[in-house]
Structure 1
């Protein structure tokens, strides 16, 4: 894996390409980029055939140990790795510890173990079991084992320091097993940078991780809602200065377009793409403009109106399930429209003006509203097609804006939908 930068804008925002990806080195990925989010190797709601009809998809697919851990024995018996097991072809496989779309309960980390949660409940992982899983999965690159429980508010300095120490110890143990493993030959390791909201610990974690033979860095603990956005940007900028320029930086748990823009400016190269899935699960469609066409008429055109988020209306006897107890109004962002709302029952426009995805080309907002209120499975399929296409199109526009020095124009276009809301604290 080699990061080749073609341009660094304002000293921090980077554009270029990751080359030599995969065990044979035949893949590449333009950065900034997001990875393809999957659950057990499948993009939620979409079949592999449907997925292949989408354009602009990245060459790197993300799978998580949280969903795979309970299937270790099956994969070990299969012997040929998760890529072949899941029918994934012609893609680079990245394995992370946790699912970015699912919050992890705190309080289950020890000096020797971390815990992950799958459909069968909690699985406790030692370094040996963690590495056994990776030998069975056979990814192209993976995130090292880490203690990432310090992103919650009011974590003590002592606990944060312990998190950094544990994570570095886990990394050393993982690297030792990795270099002795024939199954992981040609696989790259990403070291994890922890440190909570304490600058000194963040910098110590970054410096020490950079001393290890890792191919890249996973910046953990900056998830949406974990800390004030201004502080997050400051910490990421400080951490980036301590990391080698020729190695990629992947940010966990951040997906909102405004947050992505701020973090790219701070020096982040890679993101997870769970945001389209989360919007789909809310019955929402991504609807924000990122057109930076040089055509004066297009450049001055106002983006489609984005309606204010509205709470999901429950019918008699209906209850919120699987974590939906949180207020859906605060979960929604101003970059999406809630198609559950009755105002869309007579709206025959596309989900997003100018979007060329299958859903926007063939269906209207009113039809998606009908599918949602009647609980049709097709609603999730069509929304996921649109949201995935729209989101990855945003990253393509971001790379073009960086390459042509039009980042400010893109920011104005994307942030226009926020309607003057304050940017200093998360609304989630």
Structure 2
């Protein structure tokens, strides 16, 4: 949930974050390694917890991620012995030794294993194999440092799983990680290098499901950078249980605001405050052709005289007190209040969506929720 300042919500101060219902806010704050890699001494000398240093509630749990999922990472800089991260001053080469020193200094509740996640759909098979090999090597070194040096650390590790789009390499990574961690208790796993598609392809869903099937059922599985509601539901149906809010950050950066209606659970199924629903259509291959309306661009001139809320059914501070026209005006004059108001709405809406998902007990109900979500948000009339 961080952008330019580690441990804070982008665009929001502690005061403006208070406009969001506390019951919606998660207990965990993600702190990307690039923002703190050079400041291990600061954490060691500070008389208090890392959450207090970030001016957050002392009860907030800190999670160190290797990369910042809300910002693009330059490619081609990882080596056999180090992972490249980037702060405002440029590249920092992180070795397992330097990484574990930062983790020990911060004392987070959770931290990711060091990994080479610099692969995508264009990567060659040789590069993907190298990514997995380096990831396994980094993991082994981190565990050795933890065990041999007897670090004063009570943090929980989540293992990054690499393999890109290759099912063969992804499953090899899973198999080796499970073997390596038999005597080293890890808290969970993170699936890295997945595509950021609105609706995941059947191939990717099958890949995620295969990976999750091989992982221990009692360990949570996380996927970051994803936030489109249909993508989230696809991943949940495949076995993923944890997501981050980087999608909210990037949506807000582009002046877009979420407007999809969130179904709520009733005695007979799911319903929304909208009465009109639009049926989905199928193409010749049997795939659903979804005209899903997720957000609107508040920078568009069409909102210059829109004197109603971003979303009429939303109860956030922004929708209760301000109109689309006002926010459009703020964007036009480059007023810093614009991203603040959009962030309050987007974060409130996103967290409300997940609050509803937490109450869904089965995959059958999750599928019903998905169908209702598509039907009620396939209309362009807002």
Give the distance between the partners of 1:398 and 1:156, measured in 2 at CA: 37
The counterpart of 2:232, out of the listed 229, 235, 260, is 260
Moved more, 399-408 or 125-134: 399-408
The counterpart of 1:48, out of the listed 14, 18, 34, is 14
Asked whether the 8 Å contact 1:37–1:274 carries over to 2, the reply is yes
Secondary structure of 2:92's counterpart equals: strand
Distance verdict in 2 for CA 1:220–1:294, change over 3 Å: same
Moved more, 76-85 or 169-178: 76-85
Superposed, 1:7-406 pairs within 5 Å as: 36-37=1-2, 39-55=5-21, 56-78=24-46, 80-88=48-56, 89-150=58-119, 152-180=120-148, 184-211=152-179, 212=181, 213=184, 214-224=186-196, 229-294=201-266, 299=272, 301-302=274-275, 334-402=293-361, 405-406=364-365
1:92 to partner: Cα distance: 1.2
Give the distance between the partners of 1:303 and 1:273, measured in 2 at CA: 30
Moved more, 411-420 or 207-216: 411-420
Q: Residue by residue, what CA displacement relative to the aligned partner does 1:43-82 show, whole Å, maximum 9, x if unpaired?
A: 0111112223422111111110022123334334436453
Give the distance between the partners of 1:141 and 1:253, measured in 2 at CA: 18
**Could you tell me the TM-score, scaled by structure 1's length?**
0.77
Asked whether the 8 Å contact 2:199–2:234 carries over to 1, the reply is no
Asked whether the 8 Å contact 1:221–1:252 carries over to 2, the reply is no
**Could you tell me the TM-score, scaled by structure 2's length?**
0.86
Runs (4+) off by over 6 Å: none
Asked whether the 8 Å contact 1:304–1:352 carries over to 2, the reply is no
1:416 to partner: Cα distance: 3.9
Higher relative contact order, structure no. (Cα contacts within 8 Å, ≥ 6 residues apart): 1
Give the distance between the partners of 1:54 and 1:303, measured in 2 at CA: 29
Cα RMSD after superposing both structures:
2.7
Distance verdict in 2 for CA 1:304–1:46, change over 3 Å: farther
Give the distance between the partners of 2:267 and 2:320, measured in 1 at CA: 23
Distance verdict in 2 for CA 1:376–1:182, change over 3 Å: farther
Give the distance between the partners of 2:257 and 2:267, measured in 1 at CA: 27
Give the distance between the partners of 2:74 and 2:199, measured in 1 at CA: 17
Structure 2 unaligned segments of length 5 or more: list them: 279-291
Give the distance between the partners of 2:103 and 2:379, measured in 1 at CA: 46
Give the distance between the partners of 2:16 and 2:276, measured in 1 at CA: 28
Distance verdict in 2 for CA 1:303–1:100, change over 3 Å: farther
Asked whether the 8 Å contact 2:28–2:62 carries over to 1, the reply is yes
Asked whether the 8 Å contact 2:136–2:176 carries over to 1, the reply is yes
Distance verdict in 2 for CA 1:226–1:73, change over 3 Å: farther
1:100 to partner: Cα distance: 0.7
Give the distance between the partners of 1:238 and 1:420, measured in 2 at CA: 34
1:117 to partner: Cα distance: 1.0
Give the distance between the partners of 1:199 and 1:264, measured in 2 at CA: 19
Residue correspondences, number: 358
